[in-house]
Amino acid sequence: MRFEGTERYIATKDLQVAVNAAITLEKPLLIKGEPGTGKTMLAHEVAGALKVPLNTWYVKSTTTAQQGLYEYDAVSRLRDSQLGDPKVQEVKNYIKPGILWRSFTADMPTVLLIDEIDKADIEFPNDLLLELDKMEFFVYETGEVIRAKQRPIVVITSNNEKELPDAFLRRCFFHYIRFPDKETMAEIVKVHYPDLHESLMREAMEVFFQFREVQGLKKKPSTSELLDWIKLLMVENIPADVLANLDLSKELPPLFGAMLKNEQDVHAFERLRFMQRRL
Amino acid sequence: MFQDFFYQLREGGVPVTLKEYLAFLGALDQRVIEPDVEQFYFLARTALVKDERFFDAFDKTFGAFFKGIEKFFSLKVEEIPREWLDGPLRRLFSAEELAKIKAQGSWKALMEAFVKMREEQQARHQGGNRRIGTGGKAPFGQAGMNPRGLRAGEEGKRLEQGIKVWEKREYQNLSAETHINTRNIKLVLKRLRRFTREGADEELDIDGTIRETARNGAMFDVEMRPSRKNRVKVLLFFDIGGSMAPHIKRCEQLFTSSRTEFKHLETYYFHNCIYEFVWRDSEKGGGKLKTYDILHKFNRDYRVIIVGDASMSPYEIMQVGGSVDHFNDEPGINWLTRLRDSFPHMVWLNPEPPEQWEFVESIGMIRTFFGHRMYPLTLDGLHQAMTLLRRTSHVPIPVAR
């Protein structure tokens, strides 16, 4: 199994090496990078390219490691016991397998995406050390050990909101997705919008990269914003020469809402224009 | 076979461990990559480095080990980013160099002299020297001046042949300490939170209810418990003396972040050193308060964080009447002593870079006085400071003479 990018996903050479190393050595792959550079997409595409199912675990601030393994529904067992339901005799009926459990026991290899691991509590990655290392865990209620039939390919994404513990990092391969350069970006746009007109693309990219150079933006527009914006431009049928004649120091580009996500950034932009006018 | 590389990485500040090294060898063994130096570099990076902040250090070591990369980079006058000329230059130079700079007169003259010096070095090394692409405007890497946080060639270049990927030092601006923003600070400060259950029972304890009900033979027994609340109490002292001006932005960030993170937060302002008065408002002269009142009002549980550059004349600490803006009847050191004795949980955060500390006498004095509980105002420094403050037991400050 080798991953070399897909029709819809351009993987740079360093990313390919990282993914293949993780697949071959059966270690989790930790992906970091600016928001919107395709971290989550990667897992989807790896699953697609290898033709295996994808299990996604969306991590929230309240997620605990236990939820990924299994949950014991004590409340419904209690209710059933009061109703005299015969199900109550068997603890198993109240154990709900989590995502890790399902990935471990799947009949074919799977891709397991642990999305935005940094959103959870600081201790969360530590609680998963053994599970990800040995790919097995113990169910206290029933006394059974769940062991992976096939080790899933684990992709973990992080937005750097929290430091991950060293012990956890040591067990992973690591890749940082850089913001794509112009050529890569052109390829990315092309695989998403194959019928996009050459001139519109060139102009849109030009405006986009100028945009990114504006100092002091809180959230720089990234790949996903560019793709959204181009889609809007296509839907609205904006001709390429509108963008070509655009002077960023005088006006904002059409449909800029797709690229600037908060009002401070719009202000930053306006301040800049104001300063340029005074020069 | 790459053992020396492994040790050099460690020396170069990349925290590689044996486990990672073995994983790297394993990957080589299993032929994850084709025999290609670039792929080798990618594999080594993905296996050995786990944080993009260390990418730059890794690139340097990799280059030095596998190539013997040149030590000097090119720099032209027009390539000097504007902000180096106007910005807080002090951060870019060591104190000795600063002294030399002062001897030379204006910044601009110096900058030119400096560049000329670089060019000379460049010329001497011209033989076989490879000029680094725009991606790696790294003039100071070797000379010990690190323009951290400068955005040099951010957009990155294609990984093309010719210039080696690791020589571009593309990850330079990801090196540690650049990522300091309000959100980051908040996350670090969060470490200090301590949740405890105190007071009235007002929350349903589901686990307890189930446990008790089970024990009761399935008769419901509702358990209540107090809700968890953050009990951390903090006194924050901000220096608003003139020398703090270059650091105001970072301090503001710290301040806005800390506001929401603690249960009790009191903020006071002082000028250079703490004397018999502090101020409630950052505008000087507003809300004057007796320091004694603060010492008496709050108990020893309070965590004290002092933010200041501690850069002043030693007289301001040691002498009666040494203060710059009023006549103080007692030397500052007495007040610092009282503060230290009243609040055993205290740290001093200093926005000046730690490399400069030893060159400022007053920083040294205050540092020894507070038993080296002075941390730089960087994420890492904050992290260390919060870890110390988090301890419940009193860690006595070693009393310096």
Alpha helices, DSSP H, located in B134-268: 182-190, 206-215, 248-259
pLDDT at B95: 55
pLDDT at A222: 85
Q: Tell me the average pLDDT of chain A.
A: 85
Helix (H) or strand (E) holding B346: strand B346-350
Q: What is the mean pLDDT of residues A194-207?
A: 84
Higher pLDDT, B60 or A30: A30
Reading the block at residue B39, the tokens are 């792929």
Q: Residue B250 to residues A240, B5, B179, B216, B258: CA-CA distances in angstroms?
A: 43, 38, 12, 57, 12
Tell me the count of A-B CB pairs closer than 8 A: 90
- The full DSSP string for B72-130 is -----GGGS-HHHHHS-GGGGS-HHHHHHHHHH-SHHHHHHHHHHHHHHHHHHT-TT--
ipTM of the complex, rounded to two decimals: 0.77
Reading the block at residue B140, the tokens are 């100071």
pLDDT band at A30 (very low <50, low <70, confident <90, very high): very high
- Cβ distance A18 to B46 less than 8 Å, yes or no, reads yes
Can you say whether residue B371 is alpha, beta or left, with left for phi > 0 and alpha for psi between -120 and 50 degrees?
Answer: left
Q: How many CA atoms lie within 13 A of B400 on its CB side?
A: 14
pLDDT at B149: 30
Q: How far is A250 from chain B (nearest CA, A)?
A: 24
Reading the block at residue A175, the tokens are 């890749």
Rg (CA), chain A: 24
Pairing of strands A153-158, A29-33: parallel
Q: Which chain B residue is nearest to residue A12, measuring alpha carbons?
A: B159
pLDDT at B151: 32
Rg (CA), chain B: 27
E-strand ranges in chain A read 29-33, 54-58, 70-72, 95-97, 111-115, 136-139, 144-147, 153-158, 173-177
d(CA B7, CA B54): 15
Instruction: Name the one residue in this structure whose structure tokens are 């500390």.
Output: B357
pLDDT higher than 70, residue A35 = yes
- Cβ distance B55 to A32 less than 8 Å, yes or no, reads no
pLDDT at B123: 47
Residues A45-85 pLDDT 10s: 999 999 999 999 999 888 888 999 999 888 888 888 888 88
Q: How far is A251 from chain B (nearest CA, A)?
A: 24
In degrees, to the nearest 5, what angle opens at C-alpha A177 toward C-alphas A192 and B189?
Answer: 125
Residues A81-132 pLDDT 10s: 888 888 888 888 899 999 999 999 988 889 999 999 988 877 788 888 888 8
- Cβ distance B174 to A176 less than 8 Å, yes or no, reads yes
A154 forms bridges with which residues in the sheet? A112
pLDDT at B80: 46
- Cβ distance A17 to B33 less than 8 Å, yes or no, reads yes
- Cβ distance A173 to B155 less than 8 Å, yes or no, reads no
Residue to test with chain A: of B30, B32, B41, B83, most A Cβ within 10 A: B32
pLDDT at B109: 56
Nearest alpha carbon to residue A119 among A165, A58, A176: A58
Q: How far is A45 from chain B (nearest CA, A)?
A: 19
**3-state SS class at A148:** coil
d(CA B206, CA A215): 51
- Cβ distance B27 to A183 less than 8 Å, yes or no, reads no
Which residues, 6 or more positions from A225, have their beta carbon under 8 angstroms from its beta carbon? A36, A258, A259, A261
CB atoms within 10 A of CB A262: 11
Nearest to A21 among B46, B155, B183 (CB): B46
Instruction: Name the one residue in this structure whose structure tokens are 């690139």.
Output: B59
Q: Residue B163 to residues B38, B130, B159, B168: CA-CA distances in angstroms?
A: 11, 8, 8, 7
Q: Which chain B residue is nearest to residue A18, measuring alpha carbons?
A: B46
pLDDT at B144: 32
d(CA B202, CA B224): 6
Instruction: Name the one residue in this structure whose structure tokens are 């109703």.
Output: A83
pLDDT higher than 80, residue A12 = yes
Residue to test with chain B: of A78, A81, A178, A213, most B Cβ within 10 A: A178
pLDDT at B143: 31
pLDDT at B396: 62
Note down pLDDT in tens along chain B; length 401 residues.
Answer: 678 888 888 888 888 888 888 888 888 888 888 777 778 888 888 889 888 878 888 888 888 777 643 333 333 444 444 444 444 444 445 555 555 555 544 445 555 655 565 555 444 443 333 333 333 333 333 333 333 333 333 333 333 334 566 666 666 555 544 445 566 666 667 766 666 666 677 788 888 888 888 887 777 778 888 777 767 788 888 888 777 777 777 777 777 667 766 777 888 888 888 888 888 876 656 778 888 888 888 888 888 889 888 888 888 888 888 787 778 888 888 888 888 888 888 889 888 888 888 888 888 888 888 888 888 887 778 888 888 887 766 556 665 54
Q: How many CA atoms lie within 13 A of B127 on its CB side?
A: 1
Reading the block at residue B124, the tokens are 């001497």
Q: Residue A47 to residues A52, A54, A159, B119: CA-CA distances in angstroms?
A: 5, 6, 21, 52
pLDDT at B124: 43
**Which residues in B lie closer than 8 A to residue A121 (C-beta atoms)?**
none
